Amino acid sequence: MNKHSWQGVIRAYRDYLPLPAGTPIVSLNEGNTPLIQADRLAEQIAPGAGLRLFLKYEGLNPTGSFKDRGMTVAVSQACGEGAKTIICASTGNTAASAAAYAARAGLRCLVLVPEGKIALGKLAACLAYGAEVIAIDGSFDAALELVREIVARHSIALVNSVNPWRLQGQKTAAFEICDQLGGRAPDWHCLPVGNAGNITAYWIGYQEYGQGLPRLLGGQAAGAAPLVRGEVVKKPESIATAIRIGNPARWHEAMRALDESGGMVAAVGDEEILQSWKWLASLEGLFVEPASATGVAVLHQQIRQGEIDPGGKTVVCVLTGHGLKDPDMALQQAAAPRRLPATMAALEDYLLRRPS
């Protein structure tokens, strides 16, 4: 498919998606995101090692996160089955994506979010798309329990990643990475892990595409790291609100993928996540939401600890969501803009006193 005719992941990868014939396609032309080589960042996290580091910039999907790949498939399938209403629990990105695809398909959309713990850009988008946003006095995990229960009682389609069609769509990112690397999988594939749908989907994708298998490296926020600790986290905490999840729906599938790939999952502190977040923006010009920097943070940690030898390796880190999702956090991390009188003298004085 040439780049001018890209019409979303279902049309691009129809042969790999077991949707029934005649399923209507609800798409926003998602997918086909850039894989960007990041030499300055590679030199920062592995000086002199000749690391070939690539960033899969999933924040460039239509609603600003990787969730659109799975949502096009889940919503198309739900429409094919005659659904009129969809529902999800979400830390924000799934909600925004569900809301957008529901709007496009003319469906009613309910999203349950943890009150006060969803980033501004996600909430704003959900409301703009016309979703019914319900703030729950509890965590994502509590919201997910509620939606699982209500779909058992009413005929509403659940579009969380417990829905297998979500994983079918998300696996297409692995196909793109292999194509973008010239027909091979990377040595390591690093990504944030929250509800663990994405890591599960990537593993399915690499296996089906048949161009080699990477080792998977999952990163969890230290305050929300059930897979690392081996137990449910009751009160998950992190600056990375997207992955503030204590009881992942795809726990067992993720552990199996990690195991089969010879990979690992590790916890990174908020400070490490923020450091990587800053490097992505300031060294590479890639503005992401904090959770999205977790793949880079965990890679850096594992290299530092000697668990991963970066020498000559090809490594992909997935940047899962756009920086504009969480403008509050970005402003909190930055110094306020400088204020000057609107005069040439003041500007010139500033320029010459602070040479670049």
* Footprint of ligand AN7 (CB under 6 A): 65, 90-94, 161, 192-198, 242-243, 289, 291-292, 320-321
- Least distance (Å) between residue 90 CB and ligand AN7: 3
- Least distance (Å) between residue 158 CB and ligand AN7: 13
Nearer CB in complex with ligand AN7: 52/117: 117
Give the separation between CA 54 and CA 56, rounded to whole angstroms.
Answer: 7
Q: Which residue has the tokens 């081996």?
A: 230
At 78, the amino acid letter reads: A
Q: Tell me 269's DSSP state.
A: -
Q: Which residues contact 195 (CB under 8 A, 6 or more apart)?
A: 140, 144, 160, 161, 245, 248, 249, 250
- Least distance (Å) between residue 349 CB and ligand AN7: 42
- Least distance (Å) between residue 347 CB and ligand AN7: 38
Nearer CB in complex with ligand AN7: 192/214: 192
Nearer CB in complex with ligand AN7: 52/325: 325
Q: What is the largest CA-CA distance in the chain?
A: 70
Q: Are 116 and 328 in contact (CB under 8 A)?
A: no
- Least distance (Å) between residue 281 CB and ligand AN7: 15
What is each CA distance from 33 to 142, 298, 321, 328, in whole angstroms? Answer: 33, 22, 12, 25
Q: Are 147 and 160 in contact (CB under 8 A)?
A: yes
Nearer CB in complex with ligand AN7: 46/126: 126
- Least distance (Å) between residue 92 CB and ligand AN7: 5
SS3 268: strand
- Least distance (Å) between residue 103 CB and ligand AN7: 17
Q: At what angle do helices 172-180 and 197-209 cross, to 10 degrees?
A: 50
Nearer CB in complex with ligand AN7: 194/226: 194
Nearer CB in complex with ligand AN7: 51/291: 291
CB atoms under 10 Å from CB of 333, counted, come to: 13
Nearer CB in complex with ligand AN7: 93/275: 93
> Angle CA(177)–CA(180)–CA(184) in degrees, nearest 5?
70
- Least distance (Å) between residue 220 CB and ligand AN7: 9
Torsion of CA 81, 194, 138, 62, to 10 degrees: -50
Paired with 218 in beta bridges are 191, 265
Nearer CB in complex with ligand AN7: 241/310: 241
Show the 3-state SS of 124-143.
Answer: HHHHHHCCEEEEECCCHHHH
- Least distance (Å) between residue 320 CB and ligand AN7: 3
Nearer CB in complex with ligand AN7: 43/145: 145
Nearer CB in complex with ligand AN7: 169/194: 194
Closest CA to 71 of 111, 123, 43: 111
Structure tokens at 259: 């195991």
> Whats the size of the chain, residue-wise?
356
- Least distance (Å) between residue 184 CB and ligand AN7: 24
Give the separation between CA 275 and CA 44, rounded to whole angstroms.
Answer: 11
